[in-house]
Amino acid sequence: MKSLTFAFFFSFIPMHLSISTHFASCHCTPEMGWVIVCMLFSLSCVIVDGGVPTTLDGPFKPVTVPLDQSFRGNAVDLTDTDPLVQRTVEGFQPEQISLSLSASHDSVWISWITGEFQIGDNIEPLDPETVASIVQYGRFGRSMRHQATGYSLVYSQLYPFEGLQNYTSGIIHHVRLTGLRPNTLYQYKCGDPSLSGMSDVHYFRTMPASGPKSYPSRIAVVGDLGLTYNTTSTVNHMTSNHPDLILLVGDVSCANLYLTNGTGADCYSCSFPNTPIHETYQPRWDYWGRYMQPLISSVPIMVIEGNHEIEEQAENQTFVAYSSRFAFPSEESGSSSTFYYSFNAGGIHFIMLGAYISYDKSGDQYKWLERDLASVDREVTPWLIATWHAPWYSTYKAHYREAECMRVEMEDLLYKYGVDIVFNGHVHAYERSNRVYNYTLDPCGPVYITVGDGGNREKMAITHADEPGQCPEPSTTPDDYMGGFCAFNFTSGPAEGNFCWDRQPDYSAFRESSFGHGILEVKNETHALWIWHRNQDFYGSAGDEIYIVREPQNCPPIKPEEGAKIFNFKMH
């Protein structure tokens, strides 16, 4: 069994890399008896040697990869008749099962849905009190003698206009498991045993305990996923790379590309300019949950909201599906909102920020961010990674400098506390920056990576703002949702007096229009390997790869006691 598992694992190693492998941390033993679990959760440590550039070699001269005509730039949605999105359970058996992390290794959230959604003119919401929210669990190979109880809810998407079909969800359950051991394989079932409505057995591995030498093996990062045939290619590639954790940086199901009658379009505003409200076809959320269950019932997924999650409805309610369907470690991380929160995964502290809620210095999110950053002990979690949806540093014409107001408010704070990497989506292409701060190359600035290329139905971003005649008018680039306008002509640097550069900017190291996903492998306190995978390649190939290197000796992060002093001084 062991040799078979390792042989299977070796078949996934990118052949163009120079690799040495050791098995000190492997726990795949013959008595475990299940090769799938071994392959997914007990992979060996892989050390990549030589041939891969590091950020210490930079800043790099900007590179633009010419458009590859072999991939489909226009994605096509899975239809509602596709077997991958069909309901396969009966009665109140659980479906759309997913796993997400709490703030630390000893706790996770299990979420699922029971009962069928309803859509139409006459809908009657299910009663959440009629079905219990129970998870039975235990360490792998032992009995599932532990039991946790959570809470349930139903949400509706309602419209105050004739002809639009209303929606109400099945019963959504969220249960938090606590007291878990670090880096340990668990098995679980969820549902309501009194209704003979328990799920099959699923498995997950907890995150390593926080510490400078303790990291998840692989973290997948993807944005703007949607539910297209390009999405399925992305998810298949991502699954083949065996992630321990998935970051989804906004734009999940893209249900808002549809009218409530199920008619969809690549561009909602182009096809449906006269609708009284921006409609959304909520069953696409259920299709997405069903399709993703085989992966995210075992691999935790951490989601942050994107613009496609706004989903306005009656009484100006927004983001209801997003906030209802996922469990967030908001309370555990001191946040009062599902729009922003933080969590640890081994020696990494993740900060998930909301681009569609107030980010002003006087607002709750900014104050929470100050508190959270001030509390981070970089001796325990050396790596500090931030994510939100709309990028600050993107050179594509689509959404160019759209999030400038957020950058103006928050960039100084992230820079002061030494954020190492920022992941964004929104722009449907791939781009990696040099270390940058305030549009200027800076060895202590973060590396910004845009991965809005998961495959949703909207078209791939191809045009760059620095191409002749492609610079957008400043008036076309406000933050429409937050109502801000902060993007003006540059006042210094190579683009002084202009809104766009006349060439690929120095801060842009690499860009390519293609669908794909990224894998982050943090090796130790200072080195993390980032690999971007294109869908049209074999999954082991790299479209872009680099070691991101921290230099705490040259860019010392603020210590918790210093952060606390700064925060307390500002408060008083």
Coil, helix or strand at residue 465? coil
Of residues 263, 359, 280, the one with CA closest to residue 317:
280
For residues 452 and 427, give the distance between their C-alpha atoms in angstroms, rounded to a whole number. Answer: 5
Of residues 503, 504, 531, 507, the one with CA closest to residue 517:
531
User: How far from each other are the two terminal CA atoms of the chain, in whole angstroms?
Assistant: 62
Look up tokens 């090796």; give the residue: 523
For residues 295 and 238, give the distance between their C-alpha atoms in angstroms, rounded to a whole number. Answer: 10
Q: Which of 173, 349, 389, 399 is catalytic?
A: 399
Residue 170's contacts (CB-CB under 8 Å, 6 or more residues apart) are: 95, 113, 114, 115, 116, 117, 126, 154, 286
Q: How many CB atoms lie within 10 A of CB 319?
A: 18
Q: How many CB atoms lie within 10 A of CB 120?
A: 10
- Crossing angle for the helix pair 283-296 and 229-240, nearest 10 degrees? 20
Q: What is the DSSP letter of 402?
A: T
- Amino acid type, 40: L
**Do the Cβ atoms of 506 and 494 come closer than 8 Å?**
yes
**Do the Cβ atoms of 528 and 547 come closer than 8 Å?**
yes
What tokens were used for 519? 């894998």
Residue count of the chain: 572
18, β-bridge pairs:
49
Find the helix or strand (DSSP H, E) in which 231 lies.
helix 229-240
Is 399 one of the annotated active-site residues of the chain?
A: yes
**Do the Cβ atoms of 216 and 192 come closer than 8 Å?**
no
The residues assigned a catalytic role are 399
